[in-house]
Each structure stands twice: as structure tokens, then as C-alpha cells.
Amino acid sequence: MLSNMITVVIASYKYGHLAAHCIESLLSQTLAPTRILFVDDGAHDCSHLPGLYPDIEYILRPHNLGTVDNFHDLLMRVDTEYVLFIGADNWLRSDAIELLSGASADIVTYDIVVTGELKEEIHDRVPGETRPHQGDLYWDRAGKHHGSMMYRTSLGQKVGYKMRYVDGIHPQEDWNLWDKMREQGASVASLDEGLLFYRRHRENFLKYDHLVDVLDEQI
């Protein structure tokens, strides 16, 4: 079976100090992605990366576009069959692209390993959905949405990134993508493997000022 062509988009905003770990996880894959596209959405803290990792593509935006416009612009630049977005503060297991390359569905989800100094916060966010796993937490996402699902580029581009407010607190643009792709009849496949290491750390919350006060009370 021929491997699918996959672009991995690494999205960063104020994660420049964490991004090298993410890039290393892509460069050390057992099967390399077709394309790696790194974007700093106007935080100006990633200028050191092209010198360290010159073989990937960079967009260092002079001004912040915001999540929805940034992701939509990136999605429209992808020309491979599949695309996967990953936050620069997270990383992939070394065989993730190899396992994902055999996909034939329009959307491919996989499980998540929750790690980082604030990993226990996930209990409040998704009570009862995780279990202990090698010192971290395992989050079963079989058939369920998450922000780093892999999806067929052409269908994703047809839908585009748009803002969907669910909780009245912050936009969940990848939820909109999931919903609209499913409405278009997208097929979904799941890999029963923890391929994404999802780092929960203080910077996750700095985008939402009301949560910082809560964390200050907890720490």
C-alpha cells in the first residue's frame, strides 16, 4: 500500500521556548511527513528555529491573525492529501506518521497521552475520561474529535476554519471543522494508539485571563 501524503502544520503562539521538542518529534518519525509547515502567529519568539531546523518551512507572521484566521490561511496552503495540525507545545510519538499514513478515511482520530505539570487539570475538564498511563494520563478518543485529528485536505478546505462558541468562553474552531465535515458525509477512522503527547502547562491558560486567577489559587 502506498503511503498517503501528509502535511503536518505546527502552530505556535508564545510557545517558542517549547517548539523545538515538537519539531524534533516530527524530524525523528519512522516515516517522515511529506511536508512540515511551522507558523509563529505574531509572537516573535521563534526566530531562532530556522537556524536550528532549516529543512522545514516557516511562516513567521509580523502580526497576530488569531486562531481562526491563522489556521484557515494555513489550511489553504496545504497541497497534500491529508493534513494534521499540532500545537508547538505538544509532540507526536515517533511512529505516528507511519501509522497514520495507511489511513483511507476522511477524518482519522487517535488517542492522546496527557502530560505536563498541569496534567491533573484534565480531570476537571473531562471528568472520568482519562486513566493513569506510565506516569501520565491516557485519553481515549476513539471516534471523537480533537484538535490534532488528521483530515482529508480537500474536504477540510471546502469547509474551512470558522469560529464555533460552545461554552461562551473561547472559540473552538476545530470543533466547527469536525461538525461541518461530518455534515458533508465524512468517514471517520480511529487508531487505538496514544500518538499525541498533549502538554498541559501554565501557558495553556494565559490566553484566558479568567483562568489564570483560578490557577493562582490552586498552585
CATH code at 19? Answer: 3.90.550.10
Number of folded domains that form the chain = 1
pLDDT computed for residue 176 by the predictor: 85
Please give the helix or strand (H or E) that residue 59 lies within, else none: strand 57-60
Range of the domain at 46: 6-218
For residue 1, is it within any domain?
A: no
Q: What is the pLDDT of residues 30-86, one digit of tens each?
A: 999 999 999 999 999 999 999 999 999 999 999 999 888 999 999 999 999 999 999
For residue 116, is it within any domain?
A: yes
Range scoring the smallest mean pLDDT among 81-90, 93-102, 117-126:
117-126
Contacts made by residues 74-79, CB under 8 angstroms, sequence distance 24+ = 74/9, 74/11, 74/37, 74/39, 75/9, 75/153, 75/156, 75/157, 75/160, 75/161, 76/157, 76/160, 77/37, 78/7, 78/9, 78/35, 78/37, 78/153, 78/157, 79/7, 79/153
